Chains A and B, each alone.
Chain A
Amino acid sequence: MSKRIDVSDLNIYYGDFLAVEGVSMAIEPRSVTAFIGPSGCGKSTFLRSLNRMHEVIPGARVEGKVVMDGQDLYGSDVDPVDVRRTVGMVFQRPNPFPTMSIAENVLAGARLNSKRMRKSEADDLVESSLQGANLWNEVKDRLDRPGAGLSGGQQQRLCIARAIAVKPDVLLMDEPCSALDPISTLAIEDLIQKLKSDYTIVIVTHNMQQASRVSDATAFFNIAGTGKPGKLIEMADTATIFSNPTQKATEDYVSGRFG
């Protein structure tokens, strides 16, 4: 069910400010694509434009094309709500719904949309999603407890479970491990490996080792200076980016030499 995404000449604005300029790339299905680059170069901005979360911000807009399996996500007849059902997202900070229990959080996508569901069906969805997010064993005895009572790493996996419960085709993750300890980070990296057989996964990370561990392709973004737009410098197989990049800037960045 995973899908291929082709981006061409994408410009992303916050009001008049051009935050990301001229990005073209192809994101392969059933693979993990990592975005790396210095802070402020527009990784999150670009990622959020892939499921039309960008336009939630007042004044924010996008020019260019994002084509998923032949359909332009920014076409005039496309409903952003449908796009977000197909392209799920996990945020940098875990954000479970504080009024909901663990089970309700997993079912949030269905419940908030008032989908009718039989009890057995709902239970199955909760279990399979939590299994999928490697969280089932830790929470199976307290599904009716508040989601906000879990640890940070568990909350993040709960958010992943919530995202996969709506059965998207693509999963976007914006620095999903940046608030987590090494053990939870490894758990999530394992999870990403497992999920990639079913989903197209895009992950933003500041951690080079993580990018090289989990991703198949890597895109390096950079920014010429403050106030300038971020740009895609280079995108290739992860192995190529880390061992043999064509651009000098990429080599400097991945080897830890800046400026």
Chain B
Amino acid sequence: MSQLTTSGSGLGLGHSRHLPTWAPYGVLVLAAAFSAAVLALAGFNLAGFLVLTAITFMIVLVVASRAVEGPRKATDRFVTSLVVGSFLLALVPLISVAWTVISRGAARLDVEFFTFSMRGIVGEGGGAAHALAGTLIITAITTLISVPIGILTAVYLVEYGRGSLARAITFLVDVMTGIPSIVAGLFALALFVLILGPSARLGIMGSVALCVLMIPVVVRSTEEILRLVPHELREASYALGVPKWRTVVKVVLRTSVAGIATGVTLAIARVIGETAPLLVTVGFTAAINYNPFDGRMATLPTFSWFSYAAPSLPVEASIDRAWTAALVLVILVMAFNLLARVVSRAFSPKTR
């Protein structure tokens, strides 16, 4: 490298000067010190400090870089700091939510929370075993119904669908993606009320409502993934005398398992926290109910909502339970994500 700079000077390569690698960090410290000093005069506040630091940092770094390294490098540094800045900005709400949920939910993250329902509990103690069971059962049924329908629809759209039917389905899927969740809930309610009468409240109704929300997400993500499978792989399979349906199952789906698993996880995460459609279809109860075809069930989101909106005395105990339910929900989603990672790691194409 050094040889290149000395011997290459004739080519104009030797004149490039660089800021030292520690320059951005140095500038950052300077900018922080500067804004702290300015704000100390005007009255300190954290948000103002961060914004001022970021702006000062950018201006100083870009000006210094322009002077030393030239305009191309300066633009590079400007865009780099913009990108990193946006990333940090996007992290703020995430970290804030995670922190709030963990710090407030940790209080009741105990064995009792997972082993007790709220049946006959007045005051402190009690748990959300009934809500956890309800969420798991309803989400499992939703997934069992939505994933096959969603994947088969996507396979139809990508591999077989031509003409107006395919266009109509695509359109309907688009429309379904935009349905507000309460509408899905009311749809399921109306459907079952027609069949079972006005007081029907069942776990399965909640699953049907969530299916309306989940199917379009599965279709969309699977479709995207299937379209990524190179056409050459399908042709390679056809050229070996493999019929189309086997090609779809054993080459196209097999190649995209990893992506589909990720899409399904995202779809589960999308529905597992739904509250409104469950409130109108599944209702709420304080006791454990394992039967989705018989009576009301509690779920984590509705549990959390009820504990917060209609707390029993003492209020703090109720509110603690609400936060812990939220925390358990977050942990569940994380666990699904990890599971999907493991699945995609195991099935994704490898080169080594």
A-side residues, CB < 8 A to B, are 51, 53, 56, 58, 81-82, 84-86, 88-89, 91, 93, 95-99, 108-109, 111-114, 145-146, 148-149, 159, 162-163, 166
Going nearest first, the 4 A-B pairs with the smallest beta carbon separation are: A85-B241, A98-B349, A109-B240, A89-B239
The one of A53, A56, A148 that contacts B351, using a Cβ cutoff of 8 Å: A148
Partner of B232, one of A58, A95, A162: A95
Q: B17 near A: Cβ within 8 Å? A: no
16 new A-B pairs (CB below 8 Å) besides A88-B240, A91-B236, A96-B236?
A53-B235, A53-B238, A56-B238, A81-B243, A84-B239, A95-B230, A97-B233, A97-B236, A98-B255, A99-B254, A99-B349, A109-B242, A113-B241, A113-B246, A149-B350, A159-B236
Which chain B residue shows the least CB distance to A113? B242
Partner of B235, one of A82, A95, A98, A114: A95
B209-240 to A contact mask, C-beta < 8 Å, 1/0: 00000000000000000000010111111111
Across-interface contacts of A88 in B (CB, < 8 A): 239-240
Give the Cβ gap from A116 to chain B, nearest Cβ, in Å.
15
List B contacts of A53 (CB < 8 A).
235, 238-239
Residues of chain B lying within 8 A (CB to CB) of residue A114? 246
Report whether over half of chain B's contact residues are helix, strand or loop; otherwise say mixed: helix
- Cβ of A99: which chain B residues have Cβ within 8 Å of it? 254-255, 347, 349
Smallest Cβ distance from A141 to chain B, in angstroms? 15
What are 14 A-B contacts defined by CB distance under 8 Å?
Answer: A51-B239, A81-B241, A84-B239, A95-B236, A97-B236, A97-B251, A97-B255, A98-B349, A99-B254, A108-B236, A109-B241, A109-B242, A146-B350, A149-B351
The number of residue pairs between A and B whose CB atoms lie closer than 8 Å in the complex comes to: 85
Chain B contacts of A112 at CB under 8 A? 237, 240, 242, 246-247, 250-251
Show the binding face of B for A, using Cβ within 8 Å.
162, 230, 232-243, 246-247, 250-251, 254-255, 347, 349-352
Contact A145 B250 (CB under 8 A): no
| Cβ-neighbour of A146 out of B162, B240, B243, B351 (below 8 A) | B351
Is the pair B238, A84 in contact by a Cβ cutoff of 8 Å?
yes
Chain A neighbourhood of B238, CB < 8 A: 53, 56, 84
* A92 (CB) vs chain B CBs: closest residue: B232
Most chain A CB within a 10 A radius of its CB, from B241, B250, B254 = B241
Neighbouring A residues of B347 by C-beta, 8 Å: 99
Q: Which of A81, A91, A114, A163 has the most CB of B within 10 A?
A: A81
A99 vs B254: C-alpha distance when bound (angstroms): 8
Residue ID in chain B nearest A90 by CB atoms: B239
Cα distance, A88 to B234, chains bound together (Å):
14
A216–B230 Cα distance when bound, in Å, is 34
How far is it, in angstroms, between the C-alpha of A230 and the C-alpha of B250 when the chains are bound? Answer: 36
Query: Chain A contacts of B350 at CB under 8 A?
Result: 98, 146, 148-149
B contact residues around A162 at 8 Å (CB): 236, 240
Complex interface: chain A residues within 8 A of B255 (CB): 97-99
Q: For B237, what are the chain A residues with a Cβ–Cβ distance below 8 Å?
A: 97, 108, 112
Closest A residue, CB atoms, query B249: A112
Question: Which residue in B162, B232, B234, B240 is a CB contact (below 8 Å) of A108?
Answer: B240
CB distance from B74 to the nearest CB of A (A): 41
Query: Cα distance A113–B255 when bound, in Å?
Result: 16
CB distance from B227 to the nearest CB of A (A): 14
Q: Which residues of A contact B254 (CB under 8 A)?
A: 99
Q: Is the CB of B236 within 8 A of A81?
A: no
Of A82, A91, A96, A98, the residue contacting B241 (CB under 8 A) is: A82
How far apart are the CA atoms of A109 and B232 in the complex, in Å? 15
Across-interface contacts of A166 in B (CB, < 8 A): 240-241
Q: List the B residue with the shortest CB-CB distance to A148.
A: B351
Q: Are B352 and A146 in contact (CB under 8 A)?
A: yes
User: Which chain B residues border A113 with CB–CB below 8 Å?
Assistant: 240-243, 246
B233 partner residues in chain A, CB cutoff 8 A: 95, 97-98
Asked whether B235 lies within 8 Å of A91 as measured between CB atoms, the reply is yes
Q: Which residue of B lies closest to A114 (CB)?
A: B246
A96 to B239, CA, bound (A): 12
Closest chain B residue, CB of each to CB of A159: B236
Distance from A88 Cβ to chain B, minimum over Cβ atoms (Å):
7
Q: Are the C-beta atoms of B239 and A163 separated by less than 8 Å?
A: yes
The residue in chain A whose Cβ has the minimal distance to the Cβ of B241 is A85
Alpha-carbon gap, A159 to B235, bound state (A): 12
